[in-house]
Amino acid sequence: MEILKDYHRKYLTLDEVCNLCRCSKKFVYKWMARGKFPGVTRVGRTLLFREQEIERRLANGCLLLP
């Protein structure tokens, strides 16, 4: 049932996240390695990010550039 809950959520690609956060891919990869980037799902070689989680973190100021 957990899969069905995620089915209707919108996901963003790495490029979309970089545009939304105004950051580089290198920054996203570093934060992912540190466990600080939320809502990441890997489908094969493609990274998908939950849009709702990214927007929530941006609104709270948690994804600000160092």
| Torsion angles phi and psi, residue 24, rounded to 5 | -90, 165
Mind listing the pLDDT tens digit for each residue in 13-26?
999 999 988 889 99
**Is 66 part of any domain?**
no
Neighbours of 38 (CB within 10 A): 16
**Is 37 inside a domain boundary?**
yes
Specify the pTM: 0.74
User: Would you say residue 10 lies in a domain?
Assistant: yes
In a domain? residue 65: no
Q: Are 63 and 54 in contact (CB under 8 A)?
A: yes
Instruction: State the total domains in the chain.
Output: 1
Identify the CATH number of the domain in which residue 19 sits. Answer: 1.10.1660
Tell me the per-residue pLDDT of 30-43, one tens digit each, with 9 for 90 and over: 988 888 777 888 88
Structural domain range at position 21 = 2-60
The better pLDDT of the pair 20, 65 is held by: 20
Q: Are 39 and 54 in contact (CB under 8 A)?
A: yes
Q: Mean pLDDT score of the chain, rounded to an integer?
A: 81
Q: How far apart are CA 56 and CA 63, in angstroms?
A: 10
